A and B are shown apart, each in its own frame.
Chain A
Amino acid sequence: KNQVEQSPQSLIILEGKNCTLQCNYTVSPFSNLRWYKQDTGRGPVSLTIMTFSENTKSNGRYTATLDADTKQSSLHITASQLSDSASYICVVSSYSSASKIIFGSGTRLSIRP
């Protein structure tokens, strides 16, 4: 069964600290993995997208890693800011059809001053 599991479900850290969010997937055949940031009451906004051959991709303070062998990805946030408070969603696509876009249920990140 195609699944995307994220951990932790929620996380609270102090402003300025780093954190790492995890994503494990069983989607097959794998096409790409994306990380989105979703502010409360808004649509998701893309942070990174990675294909099978990519191990690391950065977008400012956000760095995503992908291990296609173990089917794991992580999103590392450096020097967190209050504006980083949001849900972070891992999405894995399969190349068979548009229906094979599997969303994780997200990690709710709260940054405290």
Chain B
Amino acid sequence: DAMVIQNPRYQVTQFGKPVTLSCSQTLNHNVMYWYQQKSSQAPKLLFHYYDKDFNNEADTPDNFQSRRPNTSFCFLDIRSPGLGDAAMYLCATSRDRVGQISYEQYFGPGTRLTVT
């Protein structure tokens, strides 16, 4: 059974048109992460939620926002997508902060975003 679910798997949006990507989890984990991964590159952390506490990475553009209405769901909002935002967006969860102890990080299948 899928534990980290991302919808849609493929999303096409127009330049400048807001888009929302969705992630849900059945693990009841405290931490949810959003990563951006461009072709042949490592995933880049955009931000994470520790419960309701939002943690933004310093170099994440303001164009990217996130919401976590409850434990199970987390959304990535791109307010005005540019061509450079075309990428795979990965959602991940962990029971607690992975740095403090060897908690596993579980990834969803990703959403491939195309900007036309």
Contacts and interface: CB of A to CB of B under 8 A. Distances in A.
Interface in A80-103: 89, 91, 93-101, 103
A10 B109 CA distance: 23
Interface residues of B, number: 31
B42 A43 contact: no
Contacts of B81: none
Interface string B4-33: 101000000000000000000000000101
A91 B37 CA distance: 14
Interface residues of A, number: 29
A94 B99 contact: yes
Nearest to B56: A99
Interface string A51-65: 100000000000000
A98 B106 contact: no
Given A97-B97, A103-B43, 10 more contacts: A46-B105, A51-B102, A89-B42, A91-B105, A95-B101, A98-B97, A99-B45, A100-B99, A101-B105, A103-B44
Interface of A: 31-32, 34, 36, 41-46, 49-51, 89, 91, 93-101, 103-106, 108
